[in-house]
Amino acid sequence: MKGLTLTPLFSAMALTLALSACSDNNLESVQSSQAPNAVATASTSQEVSNPFFKPYDTFMEIPDFDNIKNEHFLPAFEAGITERKAEINAIANNADAATFANTIEAMEFSGALLTKVSGVFYNLTGAHTNPEIQAISKQVSPMLSSASDDIFLNDKLFQRVKAVYNQADTYQLNTAQTKLLEDTYKRFTRGGANLSAEDKNTLRALNEQIGKLNLEFGDNLLAETNAFELVIDNAADLAGLPQDIIDTAAATATKRGHEGKWVFTTSRPSITPFLTYAENRDLREALFKGYIERANNNNANDNKAGLAKIAALRAEKANLMGYKTHAHFVLEERTAKTPENVYALLDKVWPAALAQANAEVADMQAVIDSQGGDFTLQAWDWWYYSDQIRVAKYDFNEQQTRPYFSLESTLEGVFYTANRLFGITVKERTDLPKYHPDVRTWEVYDKDGSLMAIFLGDYYVRDSKRGGAWMNAFRSQSNMNGVESKPIIVNVLNYPRPTGDEPSLLTFDEASTLFHEFGHALHGMLSKVEYASQSGTSVPRDYVEFPSQVMENWMTQPEVLAQFAKHYKTGEVIPTELVKKIQAASKFNQGFATVEYMAATKLDLDWHTLTDTKLRDAAEFEAESLANMGLIKEIAPRYRSSYFSHIFAGGYSAGYYSYLWSDILGADAFEAFKENGIFDPATAQAFRDNILSQGGSADPMQLYRQFRGKDAGIEPLLRSRGLLEDNAAE
């Protein structure tokens, strides 16, 4: 799957609601929105010195990164919590009868300063962190958890919310208002509002403990990832590697103090090509094991005890809330509804995927045997030998695609596709504030010529950035109280830096990731809702990946490739023959890709369907889980427990299945474009009107049915992966 997109942290009030789960379902990087014209009630000296205490004096009120310093965060968080507490108390103590406007909307509009500082801070924790930010995060996490609990567990406030909920029929609410009311009520009940006083105190303690452990997990993993390096001092050990990969490794070595050598790390742009092309099998094994053993080395950064404690505490919290397991608690609010439904879906796909993976193993073992190898295929061999088969079967390997997918040309392709589909255009700005020199900024204009959004792109790997790829928001779209707030959206990825005179060159898969993440960005930028808590990607976790999965499809279309896939030196359009090879190879190795993903998904569900609070031995639990699912030894799960940050440091606990769930929707939705034309204006407008613009303002599956005219079927996904029997010979 593509890298993570981090889902919504709602609006000012909804940030409060979400932070109740900060300890439990905390997103890897908080996507938040800024209420219009947010100004804190702070002292004159603070207003002068702290950029958060006044409107940003910048274009479109982009965060004033040039003047925001680490020391500004904690005072702003403290002031924001205090301000929001006063606003909530005013709502709870209002002498007037509770109404939708003076209770539900009032909460939605509260907490502007807290949302403002959170939007910046939690973006930086993922994209450009440092020890000081990490320390602040540890200090702020329990503060936010406690402040959020103060809202959810405020009985006077809950009684007002409940009164409005019970009288909903009298308010003549529209669809978005009805959903806001229902979601607010649910968040209170799921946040413990109906618990006894004793149980509320227990819940507070659980939230605080889980939040602390989430942060420790992420910090340990970052430290382990940054610490590992494979240092090569013999050029012979580079045999098989493309020159651009060798050059990048030399640059990494210089940066890390190994002048004249080559360094490979566990970042994807480094490890993937090494495993694919390096002829030295022992070194492939060393790098692979360096990756899969992260935070599992019985040192100060080991995550096993912490993750086991997280799982136990989540089970305890679920039981306290009246749920059988943490997965039952989480999935109640997702489109899947229950873990049983998710397991059922996985059971439909797993047999075909595993059978295909076993066939792929047999093919690779045959290659090893034909070459006189005296060993059986191991997990660290998969990329190397599968690439040989790809070359032999399709006369294709991804390195052939790199010259045609520079970062710059691929961005042009992304913008071209968005323009053809939705009429939007972009204009790059180099004079706007940014949080790191790598960041690029564009103004985004709608088809009527109006300025619609600001888009930031942060594309290069660096030590201050966590791995993966994601979309986030510094400010979400809203139109609250008639005041329009235009979104400020960012895509963060980890591509190799340009080396020498060469630009950053991407593989076909890496270029596809750029399309994927921009699909999330479009979801945020094309949002057209009233309430910030319903904006853009503020949708169920198993629905949020859907628009981005759809966007990937245009990347593979010859008509689109012809527009941007051009050789970075000659300008030659990617040859038709190479495009045919890409398409022919698109279903190759899908047994592996599906199985490694599903293994991580099943591991996630197994950890979160625990019914008791017994502390498990993490290594034994994982081994038993993988054995029960029948995972073959030649494939490791995409994420092992100790570095599964999606579920132990982020917001995907009991939800990593979401990629597959969303991929079903994505494959089915693209069928509509294939039926009517990939740039058919009516289909594109229907997708924008029913999906991208609606955010979380209505039931997501109803929105899907409005677009597609039916529920999604699983066949398009299986067909696209070559997992249907009628595709077996393809």
Alpha-carbon Rg for the chain, nearest whole angstrom, is 25
Q: Counting Cβ atoms within 10 Å, is residue 69 exposed (0-12), middle (13-18) or buried (19+)?
A: exposed
**How is the chain split among helix, strand and coil, in percent rounded to 5?**
60, 10, 35
Query: In the beta sheet, which residues pair with residue 490?
Result: 456, 472
The token duo for 224 is 């382990």
Alpha helices in 20-171 (DSSP H): 44-49, 70-92, 106-108, 112-127, 131-152, 155-166
Give the integer Cα–Cα distance in Å for 592 and 590: 5
Task: Identify the three-state secondary structure at position 493.
Answer: strand
Q: How far apart are CA 129 and CA 127, in angstroms?
A: 6
Q: Which amino acid is at 210?
A: I
**Which uninterrupted H or E stretch holds 492?**
strand 488-495
Token couple for 346? 């996985």
What tokens appear for 2 in the block?
């593509």
For residues 210-224, b (16+ Cβ closer than 10 Å) or e, as one string? bbbbbbbbbbbbbbb
The answer to whether 156 touches 295, Cβ cutoff 8 Å, is no
Classify residue 631 by its DSSP letter: -
Q: What positions carry a catalytic annotation?
A: 517
**For residues 183 and 191, what is the distance between their CA atoms, to the nearest angstrom?**
12
User: Any residues with CB less than 8 A from the CB of 277 and at least 6 apart, and which?
Assistant: 240, 241, 242, 245, 384, 387, 399
Distance (Å) of CA 493 to CA 456, 467, 509: 11, 8, 13
Q: Shortest CA distance to 244 belongs to which of 464, 470, 468, 510?
A: 510
Q: How far is it, in rounded angstroms, from Cα 658 to Cα 125?
A: 24
Provide CB contacts within 8 A for 350, sequence distance 6+: 595, 598, 629
**Alpha helices by DSSP H, 191-324:** 197-227, 243-255, 268-277, 281-292, 304-320
CA torsion 292-294-299-301 (nearest 10°) is -160
Residue whose tokens read 């993903």 = 597
Return the sign of the alpha-carbon dihedral for residues 511, 513, 516, 521: negative
SS3 assignment, position 131: helix
Place of tokens 């590992």: 228
Sign (positive/negative) of CA torsion 326, 329, 330, 334?
positive
Instruction: Note the Cα 666 to chain centre separation in Å.
Output: 16
Decide if 238 contacts 246 (C-beta within 8 A).
yes
Return the DSSP state at 140.
H
Angle at 641 between CA 638 and CA 643, to 5 degrees: 75
* CA atoms of 211 and 22, how far apart (whole Å): 6
DSSP H or E stretch at residue 19: helix 12-19
Phi, psi of 691 (to 5 degrees): -115, -65
CA 237-285-619 angle, to 5 degrees, is 155
